[in-house]
Amino acid sequence: MKKATIFVLAVFVLAATFCGAAFAKEFLSIATGGTGGTYYPLGGGMAEILNSNVPDVQVTSETGNASVANMNLIGTGQIEMAFVQNDVAFWAWKGEEMFKKAFPNIRGVAVLYPEHVQMITLKETGIKAFEDIKEQRISAGAPGSGVEADVRALFDVAGLTYKDAKVDFLDFNNTTSRFKDGQIDAGFVVAGFPTASIMDLATLKDIDLVSFSDEFLAALSAKYPYFAKSMIPAGTYTGVDHDVQTPAVMAMLVCREDLPEDLIYKLTKAFWENVRDLDKVHAKAKLITLETALEGLSVPLHPGAAKYYTEVGMEIPEIK
C-alpha cells in the first residue's frame, strides 16, 4: 500500500512539474514615468501588445520616476526594461553627468519618438524667450532628473546659472500644480507632446510655451549634440496658437544586457509588427516607426534586438 501511495505521489509531482514547465511564464517589468507624462500611457500600451503577441511572457508596466531613476534600476538589475531619454541613457552607460558610476549593462531595444523641451509659462508673466527667466520663479525638473540635466544645459548655453533665477526642482505634476497655485512663473517638462499634465493646466490657466531662437538652438546642439531642433505645432495645447520652436531629445526603450537573446528578439519583433496598436493610446505613438527605430540610438543594441533589425534589412549603428 505504501509503495502504491508513493508511486501515485511521484506521478502527481512529475505531472505537476511538467504542467508547471509547460505553462511557465517569463515575468518582465517596464519602468515608465509619472502619470502626467508620456511614458506611462505608452508603457501600458506596449505591455498590452507584448502580452497579447508573445506566448509565455507576462509584461507589466510600472509607474516610475522617469529617465535617471529608470537607468539606476536597469544598471543595478532591479528591473528588466525601461523608457529613457537618449541623452540620459548615454550618460548612464558612460558614467557621466548625474551618474557616479557607469552602467555598462544598458542595451538598446528601440528609439521611439522625439521628446520636446517644453518651457511653460503663463501669458501674464511676459516671458517670451529663455533669457527672460532672470529673477523669475522657475521649476527646473525633479532633482537629478533628465529634465534637470537638460535645463542645466540651457542655462549653460545662455550664459546663466541657477543663481540668476529663483529655482525649485519639481516633477511634471508638481510643476503644473505650482502654476495652478500661482507659485512659479516658468517651468520645464521634457516629454512627448501633448503632455497630460500640461493639457490639464491649459484648461485652468492661460498658458504659453516659449520658443527658442535659431541662434540659441544652433549653439545648444553644437555643445550638446544629442539635442535636435524641433517644433511643437500651434494648437497642441489650448491657448497656444503659434508654432513653438524648441530642442528635443529622443525617447528610447532599453533593457538589461543579461536578458536572453531569443526573448528580446521575440519582444522586438512583436512590438514592431503590432506598433500601430499604440496609436489609440497616445497621439505621440504616430511618430513611433520602424524606419526611425535606430535614429538617435545612444547605447549599444541588445543582440536580440539587433537580430530583428538585421532580418528586416536595417544597418546596425556602432555605438562607442
Q: Is residue 33 part of a domain?
A: yes
Q: What is the CATH number of the domain that holds 99?
A: 3.40.190.10
Same domain for 123 and 73, yes or no, is: no
Q: pTM of this prediction?
A: 0.77
Q: DSSP of 219-271, one letter per residue?
A: HHHHHSTT-EEEEE-TTSSTT--S-EEEEEEEEEEEEETTS-HHHHHHHHHHH
Same domain for 266 and 225, yes or no, is: no
Same domain for 175 and 197, yes or no, is: yes
pLDDT tens, N- to C-terminus, the chain (320 residues):
444 444 443 444 444 444 444 445 899 999 998 887 889 999 999 999 999 999 999 999 999 888 889 999 999 999 999 999 999 999 999 999 889 999 999 999 999 999 899 999 999 999 999 999 999 999 999 887 888 989 999 999 999 999 999 999 998 889 989 999 999 999 999 988 888 889 999 999 999 999 999 999 999 988 887 888 899 999 999 999 999 999 999 999 999 999 999 999 999 999 999 999 999 999 889 999 999 999 889 999 999 999 999 999 999 998 88
Same domain for 217 and 231, yes or no, is: yes
- Domain span at residue 181 reads 116-249
Q: Among candidates 43, 165, 139, which has minimal Cα distance to 51?
A: 43
Residue 199 neighbours by CB under 8 Å, 6+ apart: 237, 238
Q: What angle do CA 232, 209, 282 make, to 5 degrees?
A: 45
Q: Is residue 10 part of a domain?
A: no
Same domain for 165 and 82, yes or no, is: no
CA separation (Å) from 140 to 67, 220, 231, 269?
15, 17, 21, 38
Q: How many structural domains comprise the chain?
A: 2
Same domain for 134 and 235, yes or no, is: yes
- Please state whether the peptide bond connecting residue 194 to the residue before it is cis, i.e. omega within 30 degrees of 0: yes
